Structure 1
Amino acid sequence: MKKIAFIVTLLVCVISNAQTTINGRVVDDFNQPIPGANISLKGEAIGTVTDFDGFFTLKVTKELPVTITGSSIGFESSSIEVTSATQEVVIVLTEGNVLDLIVISASRAPERLFESPVSIERFGVKEIKNTPSVDFYDGLENLKGVDVNTNSLTFKSINTRGFASFTNTRFVQLIDGMDNTSPSLNFALGNLIGMNELDVENVELLPGASSALYGANAFNGILFMTSKNPFDKQGISAYAKAGITSQEAAGNNGYYDVGVRAAHKFADFFAAKVNFSYMNGTDWFATSTDNVLNPGLSRSEDPVYDGLNVYGDEVRADMERVGQNLLAQGAITQEQFDLLPEQQFVSRTGYNESDLTDYNAESIKFDGALHFKPFNNDFEIIYAGKLGKGQTIFQDSNRFSLKDFFFQQHKLEVKNDNFFVRGYISAEDAGDTYDLRFTGININRRWKSDNQWFGEYVANWAAARQLGQTEEDAHTFARQQAQIGRFVPGTPEFETAFDEVTSNPDFLTGSRFKSKTQLRHVDANYNFGHITNNFADIQVGGSFREYVLNSEGTFYTDFDGAINYSELGIYSQIQKKLLDDRLKLTGSVRYDKSQLFDGNFSPRFSIGYTLGKNRNRNLRASIQTGFRNPTTQDLYLGLDIGEGAIVGSAPDNLDRYVRTANNGTTYTGRIAYENSYTANSVRAFLDLAREGTIDTSILDIANPDIVKPEKVTAIEIGYRADFGKLLLDLSGYYNMYQDFISTIDVASPLEGQAGDALAEGSILTGNFAGFQATTNSEADINSYGAVLGISAKVFGDFDLNASYTYAKQDFDQNDDPGFRTNFNTPEHKAKASFGHDNLFRNFGFNTAVRWSGDYVWESAFAVGEVPSFTVFDAQFNYRIPSLKTTLKIGGSNIGGSEYFTAVGTAPIGSLYYFGLTINNF
């Protein structure tokens, strides 16, 4: 026993002598702690991270002296030699400039932002903490060249370089490599169901075409959001924010947002994390009653009034046609019929948007991840799961109330420093989501059919005119009579009708949006750089994606079960440095094949050259291509909307849509593409016919081609320079589009073939079906622009950032008179921010101002001008190191006028908040 005790004691002494514990701290130039900084032992795969107060403990087995290095994003790395275990180790990191930051997305490999072959923006932990916006996602709108279209309080759409709508299918958003696009609604969910800001490691944004590396729909740009690894960032952190939203229409309402992150390294081979956040507030009220058809005229002045945020008044009828039916029925006399005006339409009375939604805004997000390092090296296996539920207002062709919208993603990934293989599934449940326009329309119809309402209106109008009333007074009287018994908001009758309509998924009688669509995706990449580094950096990769459309036949043509289709892509990239690493050449090409379309190649080539004795200037030029596949709705929609139908143009969808006309004729969606006239020509033909003139030469045969992918070729040049306290980034681009995806309204005769006498007679007698068809425009569409960004240290150590963006489209409307490009961006916009991280001990502030010129907004919902606006945001923060807490007070659109970024959305008011964050690394 004595011998055993001696041996144990000896071993303990040996181990103790062989292991040295180094304690230290990492601070910045102001002696402020840097939490989450990486500490590594030179020449060894040993490291740790600092805690909230910047302290660290590192155990080493090598004999002293050793060299340890401290590093953190946004700071220049620094090393120090440790000669004694009792040595006071303080590593001071000097703030680096943004051009020295490492980015991944531009080339799918780590490189300095300064040497990136294309334009790129980065938004890291420092920027998140300093943003005056209420959360990190809102803060992205301060990046240069970025447009943020505000749909509602919790839903915002990010875009670059124009051609944006709220669905914005030209821009991709990835969270840890997972596409967070709704596979049925076709819009990126943004941060409605996204990331907890405590878990955001960094955000990178690539403006412009990126299909060569990232495939379909990376057309205008791509946004990468990367979360923190629990091996590196451990502990429990939390935040709480409270404030008010202030809007003229909605008044002052409470705003709450709380979140927590917990991460722990249980062993050298296993770590895990969980995140939870909850946000609740009152959305901006959309209350515009502007007349869409006849601007400037009110309901009392315009019988065919169609209010912007009024729903149900889209239903209209020709008084003369209604009168003909009444005359045939004996409901009015010939004398009364003769009093009816020609080509005078009237519309039903609609409901205000505020009558049809409660404007509650809510977001609930939960995610977790398990990380395994079985070999205690860079090889890692990750399972990640995300669950989210939200309520907001979404605007597309109509306005939708997303209610209890549920979205989940599950990912399994295997990776190391040289490769990754990941697979994930995205699944959504639309919950109780409903269409506001069809809610108003069908509540009206549930009370009184269109035929009855218009019949009563016209009969009363004619009677009033017969009694000598003026036309204006007759319209007032007719509407009053037709409206008797109408369901009034707030009454039991209205609430019952509302519940019945919003729970009914048939848009002819209801408004509920049903979807349980899924997206399945696998992608992989291998970087051979560690093998071929003497020659070049070479990467290969690929992806496979499958859509599973499931609307139970309510808006897709999935009457007989879910619709499946898939896409496949492969790519390769080679990157070579020459001339003492000053010249950098990058070439890549990708091939994609959808089972619905021919294959497509997307090449990219870029060249960069570093200038100057100190290598502080960089020139870059690139030519790259992109493509956009038609959306799931472009392909498989089959939605009756009363006056017609929207039918997607996937080859197999044309026969999936089957309907029977009132006269018993059965037809399919194929006639929209193979036997149709343009709707505009049919309207003109029928207008002349009512006047007694039959001119068939007016009818214009449409027969649009089925849709195919849209393509773009983008040329970009850029210049970056580091002049010490002044950083400059300038870029310009020119985009050339082919096969721009568009829609066309057509009318298909149910007898004969477009162009023959039987078809012309069918149109004349009203025996036709109306469609909205998806196709490609033959017009030449180009766009060009420039972005200038400046970052500087002024008045000592104050941070000043400023940018200017110019964007212009080149499109002659005469090339395609009925086509809208939805460019939707101002020609000029400017942004600036000014602040200081440490104005005095533990106190910092930041301010931001954005100015946008006016522009025309185009969408299926509304077209109109967006006036120029200026927005000012600010925040002040105070750090309490002893409590590991940061206090922050701020506001958005402080003292400013209400503004909007899209026609039909609510005016954006002000948001003021107070928040505290605990232990945020």
Structure 2
Amino acid sequence: MRLSTLLLTLLCAFFCGSVMGQVVLKGTISDDDNGETLIGASVLAKGTTTGTVTDFDGNWELTVSGLPTILQFSYLGFATKEIEVTSPDQDLNIRLGADDGTTFEEVVVTGRRISEKQQQAALTMETLDAIAIKETPAANFYDGLGSLKDVDLTAASLGFKIVNTRGFNSTNPVRSLQTIDGVDNQSPGLNFSLGNFLGASELDVNRVNLVVGASSAFYGPNAFNGVIAMETKDPFLQQGFSAQLKVAERNLFEGGIRWAEAFKNKDGHDWVAYKINLFGFRADDWVADNFDPVFDTDLAASNPGGYDAVNRYGDEEDSGADFSSVLGLGEIRRAGYKEEDLVDYDSENLKAGLAVHFRLNPAKTLESTELLLASNYSTGTTVYQGDNRFSLKGIQFFQHRIELRNRDNFFLRAYATHEDAGESYDPYFTALQLQEAHKTDAAWRTDYLNYWTTFITPQVEALEGFPDCRNSSIPADQRCSVAEFRQQRRDFYASEEVQSLLPGYHAEARTRAQSGNSSDPDAVDFYEVGTERFQQAFDSISSNLIGQGGTRLFDRSALFHLHGEKQFRGVYKPNENSGLDLTVGANYRLYTPNSQGTILLDTMGRNIDTQEFGIYGGGTMNINNRYRISASLRADKNENFDLLFSPAASIVYTPTATTTLRASFSSAIRNPTLNDQYLNYNVGRAVLLGNIDGIQDLITVESLVDFLNTGDVDTIRRFDVAPIQPEQVRTFELGARTTIGERLYLDATYYYSRYTDFIGFNLGVRASVRPQSPPTGVQAYRVAANATEVVTTQGFSIGSNLYFADYYSLNGNYSWNRLNTETDDPIIPAFNTPEHKFNIGVSGRNVPLSLFGKPVNDFGFSVNYKWVDTFIFEGSPQFTGPIESYGMLDAQLNFTAKNINTTFKIGASNLLDNQVYQVYGGPRIGRLAYASATYNLSKK
């Protein structure tokens, strides 16, 4: 189905719903300790944006679209409760108990603020729930994560966003883990997730929990700097039809539908439920058109012989192109190709999903064991930035899951992820191939030089004023010396007149060098963008596989995962207010790479399938509802590496019902990715190598340069690179949260992290060298390697919420992150994190508003200002440079038309259109104004 047809189908479906019956629920909320009613406590229909607050007598009233439904009851300083409501006559006089002292702001499971697994891991979390998704001023829920405390959100393109926390940010986020309903959303070949490009549809997202910091103890390897845990809607609890349409600038048009339904058995209990999701998106992507000189390169944009531009590829430095000894010629660069001439900026995304849930004991409803079968498919086109910028064109993902679970008791989960790179290709390598098809670098340089010395030099020296003090017509005793003549000649070339003519002369020489006339018998004319000849060459190169004369990537890798966990409640219970709970679990994973040698070393029948497994366990002791002591330990074994342990421990003290204090220790490991182990990727000017076995006898780049200058082989320095090893981090953390009065909530955290065996890379060369002779067989390599130095970081963050005037909230957060270790070790990965950043915003919910004398239902708004400090973004040499400080203002208005069950929203991210770079080498991100309509029709 074409995407345009899909979106028209969604448009039709959006307006085809029929109104079903609504149910009015009433009750009170009070303090379980003293029975006093709570003013301003929240009531929310889980998985929706339907909610209310209690009045001065603690009473509440809420209209829901149907039963059964789950209601969430919460109040600052108290533990949130969830209640399944099956009848309008059910007793809904709710008593809330004291908070359990965790650092989370939102409920995850019935009766507790967070799951036991998360409690034992003692992690800090930010949450985006259904109401927050509705109220986010960002263009979509995933972008809304960028306004949370401790979060860095980076846009490499419109379709590819990266979320990271606590430093060492990267456009290939291998140090963070993203899950959907507990399923790792990573690409099997790349070993990291592609943001939400292959994630969940917004209509099906129930909440997003963002775990901050090292968290391997329960989440496993790669939960290094954080976890993005998405939870989708349960078809038993959120039934009915939903549809969303959104239009925006950049010709953005997206739509989605969700349908969920449950069936009853002969006893009247729901026993099977299913949900179907379909989402489509298209837009004109942001264009990466930064033509400034690459940061820290020698040539300015004014150099008449050319320079290396950030988003132009093929114009990079060539050691053989320095003709400084030829006056006027200087250093020259090939023309290269702009990224916009090589990349498909028509961003598209299609997601489809089907899930079926079976209750094996329907009479127990939520407490029944369930069997889940789910399958998801994603495909699309976008731009991804890693070592190069890549055009992911027609990439496909298939994910299938089977799970047996009992809430808060156990689960056994198995899933498989398959990917197909489609027609994806490397634009940077494509530019090099196009230029090589025109003529070799050596032939181009020779043609440029010959034209200059044959035609340009005589023109310059025929100009009036050229020094002639060595003219033979001048008596010998009156002629200037050779040294004086050379100086006068240099001064003439440096004159304003000659300098003004040089750009035109270089244009002549470049035109000549671009022609096919050359001593190189294989040379042809330059492939000019926009010509049919260029398009034919481009199509041929980008459609043929790497290693077979092209730049297309082949990747049909897969991963298979099995995970089980069991929780034991009340293992030891000395009294009513104290008790010990335990959790144990294990997982197994198998990677089956298949790149046909285009990316990895899976050639000549070599099997690089990789297995790993892990086991973990932990306990939490609650002592008199004031102290919560947790400890856990995880052991992980990858078949290529030694057994590693990830311990964690914490103590939480609750001195009052509104204040908690916490101290914790956590740890994480990151196994080297398949690329770190098996990469074999020729990018034209270097070969990128994985390093599972170690690399021997490389020459340092610096010593090879010395040899070129001196011809002395004694300057050559050789080195070996030890086999790659996992990297590890240990984090100490202090936290406090409190409610001041009834309106102000504060949450603060300080952390200190210690990293060992950072994974980066070494640069080296292999060549044959002989005294006083040019080196032969020169090949540059970039080899995955571990740093030898220990690195430490620290940071502090604080967030606050001030509720006022019944309907409004003032929100703010500030984060400080610092890399303590100063080192020149080139292996240390870039910190890539601003030292200071903050968000401040104001929002209103259910604000009473009249328009033309008529009340507007459920009117809400939010405004958020985000500021990010200047920092250096370090990626590949082409994509390393400064990100200037910037501020972005997001805003939105929303209201609900209850008679048609539709919420309308208009807004804009980067409202003031402040054109900013969020990643060096990426595009400038400007305003994205949007309008959306979301239709929700719950089913009884």
- Matched to 2:376, the amino acid is K
Whether contact under 8 Å (1:359, 1:393) holds in the other structure is yes
Shift in Å at residue 104 of structure 1?
6.7
Whether contact under 8 Å (1:379, 1:415) holds in the other structure is yes
Shift in Å at residue 55 of structure 1?
4.9
CA distance in 2, matches of 1:71, 1:319: 68
Sort the Cα spacing of 1:592 and 1:920 in 2 relative to 1 into closer, same or farther, 3 A.
farther
Moved more, 227-236 or 760-769: 760-769
**Aligned Cα RMSD in Å?**
3.4
Whether contact under 8 Å (1:162, 1:824) holds in the other structure is yes
CA distance in 2, matches of 1:108, 1:546: 34
Whether contact under 8 Å (2:24, 2:61) holds in the other structure is no
Sort the Cα spacing of 1:288 and 1:115 in 2 relative to 1 into closer, same or farther, 3 A.
same
Q: Secondary structure at the match of 1:634?
A: helix
CA distance in 2, matches of 1:302, 1:593: 57
Q: Secondary structure at the match of 1:528?
A: strand
Pairing 1:273–2:289 present: no
**Counterpart in the other structure of 2:676:** 634
**Counterpart in the other structure of 1:13:** none
Shift in Å at residue 108 of structure 1?
12
**Counterpart in the other structure of 2:904:** 887
Q: Secondary structure at the match of 2:719?
A: coil
Sort the Cα spacing of 1:342 and 1:629 in 2 relative to 1 into closer, same or farther, 3 A.
farther
Q: Secondary structure at the match of 2:443?
A: helix
Of residues 394, 405, 408, the one that matches 1:415 is 405
**Counterpart in the other structure of 2:35:** none
Pairing 1:725–2:743 present: yes
- Matched to 1:572, the amino acid is G
Whether contact under 8 Å (1:155, 1:191) holds in the other structure is yes
Shift in Å at residue 699 of structure 1?
2.9
Whether contact under 8 Å (2:448, 2:513) holds in the other structure is yes
Q: Secondary structure at the match of 2:332?
A: strand
**Counterpart in the other structure of 1:618:** 660
Moved more, 832-841 or 636-645: 636-645
Deviation string 1:127-175 (CA, Å, 9 cap, x unpaired) is 0111111211111111111000111111100000010111111110001
1:633-652 map, 5 Å: 633-651=675-693
**Counterpart in the other structure of 1:210:** 215
CA distance in 2, matches of 1:216, 1:894: 39
1:299-698 map, 5 Å: 301-303=303-305, 305-314=307-316, 316-319=318-321, 340=326, 345-376=331-362, 377=364, 378-417=368-407, 418-464=409-455, 466-469=457-460, 472=502, 475-484=506-515, 485-506=525-546, 509-529=549-569, 531-532=571-572, 535-561=579-605, 563-578=608-623, 580-612=624-656, 615-651=657-693, 673-689=695-711, 694=712, 696=714, 698=715
1:907-918 map, 5 Å: 907-918=924-935
1:763-782 map, 5 Å: 765-782=775-792
CA distance in 1, matches of 2:253, 2:405: 38
Sort the Cα spacing of 1:433 and 1:99 in 2 relative to 1 into closer, same or farther, 3 A.
closer
Shift in Å at residue 882 of structure 1?
1.4
CA distance in 1, matches of 2:124, 2:339: 41
Sort the Cα spacing of 1:749 and 1:116 in 2 relative to 1 into closer, same or farther, 3 A.
closer
Sort the Cα spacing of 1:155 and 1:227 in 2 relative to 1 into closer, same or farther, 3 A.
same
CA distance in 2, matches of 1:81, 1:741: 51
Whether contact under 8 Å (1:319, 1:458) holds in the other structure is no
Shift in Å at residue 878 of structure 1?
1.2
CA distance in 2, matches of 1:492, 1:99: 59
Sort the Cα spacing of 1:271 and 1:315 in 2 relative to 1 into closer, same or farther, 3 A.
same
Sort the Cα spacing of 1:808 and 1:537 in 2 relative to 1 into closer, same or farther, 3 A.
same
Whether contact under 8 Å (1:319, 1:341) holds in the other structure is no
Pairing 1:163–2:183 present: no
Sort the Cα spacing of 1:595 and 1:867 in 2 relative to 1 into closer, same or farther, 3 A.
same
Q: Secondary structure at the match of 1:495?
A: helix
Sort the Cα spacing of 1:855 and 1:96 in 2 relative to 1 into closer, same or farther, 3 A.
farther
Sort the Cα spacing of 1:720 and 1:139 in 2 relative to 1 into closer, same or farther, 3 A.
same
Whether contact under 8 Å (1:849, 1:871) holds in the other structure is yes
**Counterpart in the other structure of 2:839:** 831
**Counterpart in the other structure of 1:843:** 859
Whether contact under 8 Å (2:120, 2:618) holds in the other structure is no
Pairing 1:25–2:33 present: no
Sort the Cα spacing of 1:760 and 1:375 in 2 relative to 1 into closer, same or farther, 3 A.
farther
CA distance in 1, matches of 2:114, 2:104: 16
CA distance in 2, matches of 1:812, 1:762: 39
Shift in Å at residue 531 of structure 1?
4.8
Of residues 791, 805, 812, the one that matches 2:801 is 791
Shift in Å at residue 187 of structure 1?
3.1
Tell me the number of residue pairs that the alignment of Structure 1 and Structure 2 aligns.
816
Shift in Å at residue 23 of structure 1?
6.5
Whether contact under 8 Å (2:214, 2:224) holds in the other structure is yes
Shift in Å at residue 466 of structure 1?
4.3
Whether contact under 8 Å (1:728, 1:789) holds in the other structure is yes
Deviation string 1:483-512 (CA, Å, 9 cap, x unpaired) is 233222111001101100111222684221
1:176-191 map, 5 Å: 176-191=181-196
Deviation string 1:674-697 (CA, Å, 9 cap, x unpaired) is 2122222212322333xxxx262x
Deviation string 1:715-738 (CA, Å, 9 cap, x unpaired) is 111111122211110000111111
- Matched to 2:236, the amino acid is F
Shift in Å at residue 867 of structure 1?
0.6
Which runs of 5 or more residues in structure 2 are unaligned?
A: 1-20, 29-38, 49-59, 265-269, 461-492, 494-498, 516-524, 849-856
CA distance in 2, matches of 1:78, 1:703: 59
- Matched to 2:729, the amino acid is V
Shift in Å at residue 355 of structure 1?
1.0
Shift in Å at residue 821 of structure 1?
2.4
Whether contact under 8 Å (2:761, 2:827) holds in the other structure is yes
Shift in Å at residue 109 of structure 1?
6.2
**Counterpart in the other structure of 2:766:** 748
Sort the Cα spacing of 1:258 and 1:732 in 2 relative to 1 into closer, same or farther, 3 A.
same
CA distance in 2, matches of 1:873, 1:770: 46
CA distance in 2, matches of 1:391, 1:81: 43
- Matched to 1:445, the amino acid is E
Sort the Cα spacing of 1:91 and 1:198 in 2 relative to 1 into closer, same or farther, 3 A.
farther
- Matched to 2:445, the amino acid is F
CA distance in 1, matches of 2:41, 2:738: 29
Q: Secondary structure at the match of 2:705?
A: helix
Whether contact under 8 Å (1:508, 1:642) holds in the other structure is no
- Matched to 2:869, the amino acid is G
Q: Secondary structure at the match of 1:167?
A: coil
1:70-109 map, 5 Å: 70-71=71-72, 101-103=106-108
TM-score when scaled to structure 1?
Answer: 0.83
Deviation string 1:9-61 (CA, Å, 9 cap, x unpaired) is xxxxxxxxxxxx996435999999955589xxxxxxxxxxx999515457xxx
Whether contact under 8 Å (1:101, 1:112) holds in the other structure is no
Q: Secondary structure at the match of 1:184?
A: coil
Moved more, 639-648 or 801-810: 639-648
Q: Secondary structure at the match of 2:559?
A: strand
- Matched to 1:410, the amino acid is H
CA distance in 2, matches of 1:843, 1:80: 27
- Matched to 1:170, the amino acid is R
Higher relative contact order (CA 8 A, sep 6+): 2
Shift in Å at residue 765 of structure 1?
2.9
- Matched to 2:315, the amino acid is D
- Matched to 2:645, the amino acid is F
Pairing 1:154–2:162 present: no
